[in-house]
Amino acid sequence: MAGVRFVFGEVSEVWVDESFEILKRRYKMIKEMNKKVKKLDVWDIGLTKLAVAAFVLFVITIWPAAMTWVHSVSPWWFLAVFVIFAIKPMFKFYLK
């Protein structure tokens, strides 16, 4: 793993500094993405969701292993994943 350096069994200050820089860059990227997302309206977000759904169907169609996996998994697992991913946005939308 690049950036991990051990000095007598402890993590060196160089690794900590590099990790902090990575976190600062990620935070900056998230702030920039939030600015860009605020420019989108409801139609843009809906079309993005439809594009992602169409791409997933495309991948499942052209990749036989993916199609086999989707057919072998119980549909209830997909419903459970949907509920887990939908909880936070739903609470934010309806309760805040």
Q: Does the pTM exceed 0.75? A: no
Torsion sign over Cα 68, 71, 74, 76 = positive
Q: What is the pLDDT of residues 25-52, one digit of tens each?
A: 888 999 998 898 889 899 999 999 999 9
Instruction: Based on the fold, state whether residues 51 and 19 are members of the same structural domain.
Output: no
Identify the weakest region by mean pLDDT among 14-18, 36-40, 53-57, 92-96.
Answer: 14-18
Instruction: Based on the fold, state whether residues 32 and 57 are members of the same structural domain.
Output: no
Parent domain of 60: 41-96
- What is the number of domains present in the chain? 2
Nearest-angstrom CA–CA distance, 41 and 28: 23
Instruction: Based on the fold, state whether residues 54 and 29 are members of the same structural domain.
Output: no
Instruction: Based on the fold, state whether residues 77 and 34 are members of the same structural domain.
Output: no
- As a whole number, mean pLDDT of residues 56-74 equals 94
Instruction: Based on the fold, state whether residues 7 and 30 are members of the same structural domain.
Output: yes
Asked if 22 and 15 count as a contact pair (C-beta separation under 8 A), the reply is no
Instruction: Based on the fold, state whether residues 93 and 46 are members of the same structural domain.
Output: yes
Instruction: Based on the fold, state whether residues 91 and 72 are members of the same structural domain.
Output: yes
Instruction: Based on the fold, state whether residues 68 and 31 are members of the same structural domain.
Output: no
